[in-house]
Structure 1
Amino acid sequence: MMLPPERTGHAASADLIARRAAIAEAVAAGVWRTDNAPEELEIGGVRCLRFLPSTESRGTVLHIHGGAFRQGCPEMIGPFATALATRCGVVVICPAYRLAPEHPFPSGLNDAIRVMTALNTGGLIVSGDSAGGGIAAGLAARNSNEAPALAGLALLSPWLDLTVSAASFATNAAHDPLFSGEAAREAATLYLQGFSPDDGRASPMFAAVDNFPPTLINIGAGEVLIDDACAFFDRLRAAGVESLVEIIEGMDHVAVTRDLALPGAAQTFATVAAFVDERVRAV
């Protein structure tokens, strides 16, 4: 799957700059700091955090953070990544991919590809939350006919369709406090900057999925993204891909990566950990 050339974007708005600054201040204040501090390094020319298990590693998980393609950082994934590394005995890599609107599609996906390629490890498991789930699925589509094959794909409240056309954007609008059709359309515009939202290279919903690895999809029942998650699961099953969708009542968007104490987060974490265990054993 050939990607289009990278393009020059435009400056972020004052509001977005302020939101990013608030995140940076929270990182500096240690909001997501963990007892087992991650290593900071470059992989494929991309800044990454590497979270190590307390024992010899059984495998590697490449996790792509969310933030609607325009904000967020790997430090925010720290508590989830540390818990997963400890529970499953795996290395967890979180890249700081380039963000829109300064770096529109396909810059962020290219960064993730660079990290995946540099890791060059058989049995790699890829995961992602929200927009990071979309990039993770984009990695699976990009890697579907290449070696080494991915061992598994875990999508947590993934944003897979940038057309923002699913009915659940309206039907669940009152139940999803963290994401909305308006926010999605704004973020998609900043990310795509004229590229077609129904192109499978940007929206994995429209990509070929025949050669996807075993895939886990986790989503809250009240999320605006639930229709997309279920539609993608249906596509995977129709293509014969081993897949599972877990729908959790009362769980907000990407609860497990925001706070392991949030409703539904413990159940999600247990499911993800079991999936990682299974995929590590299968390699």
Structure 2
Amino acid sequence: MQQNNNVTEFILLGLTQDALRQKMVFLIFLIFYVGTVVGNMLIIVTIKCSRSLGSPMYFFLFYLSFADSCFSTSTAPRLIVDALSTKKVISYNECMTQVFALHLFGCMEIFVLILMAADRYVAICKPLHYPRIMRRQVCLLLIILAWIGSFIHSTAQIILALRLPFCGPNLIDHYCCDLQPLLKLACMDTYKINLLLVTNSGAICSSSFMLLMISYIVILHSLRNHSAEGRKKALSTCTSHIIVVVLFFGPCIFIYTRPPTTFPMDKMVAVFYTIGTPFLNPLIYTLRNAEVKNAMRKLWHVKTASESKR
């Protein structure tokens, strides 16, 4: 498809054109990205090495942290590098790769959040059947299906992107490649493609958000039949999940479920769900989860003890 285009590279305008603000963007998002990777990797290592975190909830949290790290990596490094670059050039192939990675790991995050909600629903509403329903084999199968679904979604997105002919100009008013800003540069009528985009990405975001909200309403309603201690523990877990869902889906719905119009705040909204949410997730899941914090402390004590013996 690239042979049919006059454009072989794009120029990303980034978040700002001001030199001082670009340095601030570099510093701020470097901190955010390092914090995202370190925080999520810490969760991944803790879950992998701790025997006390072997339940399905932490199995899914492992993949959420992995998806967060990859999702942020699909956009943050280029934003950070471009903040100090005079010419923010991205090749056509790199741009298409970024579109694919952005939707692959973003969709994977959506599916994992749904699986985590399903796990909480079974644990709270059907506790007697929980060990049988959420077996290890079932959890593994669900994750495989989530990867397959994410791959199908991102493949559909990249097919739409590859069908766009670009004749110039090649200035993308964004800090990353995505279908919305690319549609503005295409030298064709993009109404049908935008309709497909809303039908695909918009429908996934909206329907998933509604499904998650309904499931948590059912869960919270069922907690009235639990003991005070069980209710407190379940509320703590569900509150963390609800915070993550709202922070992630709010910006996604704003971006992907509307006509092809551009608003000044679009880039900042995109920053929030591509970089901000993956940064906040480790903080939400560790600061509000006593089991994860205890597992981290135990691993730290084991590591320091082993080093002191050397």
Calculate the TM-score normalised by the size of structure 2.
0.29
Judging by fraction of residues, say which structure has more strand. Answer: 1
Q: Which has the higher helix share?
A: 2
Larger radius of gyration: 2
